[in-house]
Amino acid sequence: MDNHHNAPHDWQYNTGNEFTPDEPLPPYSLLPEPGLIQNQIDDDPSARMPKPCVVPQTAQTYHGSIYRPFARAYSPDLLSHGITRSDFIAFVDGLNEVWLADPYLQAISVSGNVLNFMPLLETQIVGLGVTVAAEYGSLKLSQMRTEAYLRLANTELFKPKELRVQILKTWEMMHTAGIPRTVLQLRPVGEDERFEDLDDTDTDKGKGREYDPQLRRMETLKDYVMPLTFDPGRPSSDNWLKQASEKQERFFSERQNSIIRGKREKAAKQVSEAESAERELNRQADELESTKAKATARAAERLSGPLGESNQGQLWIQEDLEKELKKLDKQLQRVSREREKKVARKVQQSERRLHRVEKREHRIAQKVMWIVVSADDGTGFENHLMEHTTYME
């Protein structure tokens, strides 16, 4: 038998040379140090994905989270992690489909007459392989469909790319993004109430778009999360029930945002009207002050003439001036009252209106749900539609 093949680790030495105790041991270099450092970096989720991708709900309602969709949006930064635009938009569309309570389920849930609608419930959830008792209603149905869908999406799309997707409330989304606050403080709105256009498919990119509450929320987060582009299209469906659901959710989302936008526009209009009225009243006041100055100059000119040579003439000139100045002062007081009525009050009304809409926007910002895509740390995923639940994959 060849003794060469019996020597352990013989491949580390010079093949064919006999090892002697006097020779130093060769270095062990199966795993070079740079490789160890790189592996340690790759095992750190924050290094793999420093900023998460977050997508907001389009609006919020007191009826519950399941009645508002998530925005159709995509971050180009996801492409470097293997998630394409088409895959992510398809994921969002699918999530909205299982997330939203159908309008007829909503009505039945309110009336309590769910048992009569059982065949349709079974039809809606059979594709996910989920069964549900009729008395659960639309909320429980949405919870179960979403749980199954997120589990499938993590298994098939995100986990193979060392990512995970969750549905989180605002405070938990902020924690995941590393934001050192527990309340989302919306950034101040400028006078033009417009935001940078974040949609790269818009032909008027760079010109800005009209005020949008969900864009304002994203602007507040922009230093902590991936940038988003919003897809202007809408998913199409041949199913009449889905079409009705899509139509209803678009109506309610657009209505809430349009109400907020309308209140802001009305407040801005009041400020504009106040500024216009103030300019006109200032013009009138300037004219009256000019008239007073001219009246005083005329009186001085009369005093230097023949009439001013006598005491009686001086008295007449002084009485005429005082009478004219008194009349002009009354007109100035009227202008001042008009300024208080048309300017100060309108500004106060505008400020009160803006304060109310700010409180409403702030409240909505804390209650909307978020799609959150982050590096997979192996702890499973959360779905805050089902409170305090973590799903291990």
- Each residue's pLDDT tens digit, 150-182: 999 999 999 999 999 999 998 899 999 998 887
What are residue 89's phi and psi, to 5 degrees? -65, -40
- Each residue's pLDDT tens digit, 66-96: 557 888 899 999 999 999 999 999 999 888 8
Instruction: Give yes or no: residues 299 and 220 share one domain.
Output: no
Cα distances from 336 to residues 124, 149, 190, 329, in angstroms, run: 67, 66, 30, 10
The secondary element (H helix, E strand) that includes residue 247 is helix 240-303
What are residue 57's phi and psi, to 5 degrees? -65, 150
Domain-located, residue 64: yes
Q: What's the structural domain count of the chain?
A: 2
Sheet strand arrangement including 369-375: 53-56, 369-375, 163-169
Structural domain range at position 140: 48-190+211-232+368-375
Instruction: Give yes or no: residues 68 and 215 share one domain.
Output: yes
Instruction: Give yes or no: residues 106 and 217 share one domain.
Output: yes
Instruction: Give yes or no: residues 62 and 175 share one domain.
Output: yes
Instruction: Give yes or no: residues 347 and 228 share one domain.
Output: no
Region 17-25 average pLDDT: 48
- Each residue's pLDDT tens digit, 326-371: 999 999 999 888 888 878 777 877 778 777 777 877 787 788 889 9
Distance CA 41, CA 232 (A): 38
Instruction: Give yes or no: residues 169 and 305 share one domain.
Output: no
Instruction: Give yes or no: residues 168 and 315 share one domain.
Output: no
Q: What's the whole-model pTM score?
A: 0.56
Domain-located, residue 382: no
* Range scoring the smallest mean pLDDT among 130-144, 177-191, 373-387: 130-144
Domain-located, residue 38: no
Instruction: Give yes or no: residues 163 and 282 share one domain.
Output: no
Instruction: Give yes or no: residues 306 and 221 share one domain.
Output: no
Domain-located, residue 242: no
Domain-located, residue 197: no
Domain-located, residue 258: no
Domain-located, residue 199: no
pLDDT reported for residue 336: 87
Instruction: Give yes or no: residues 90 and 227 share one domain.
Output: yes
> Taking a C-beta distance cutoff of 8 angstroms, is the pair 288, 331 a contact?
yes
Domain-located, residue 119: yes
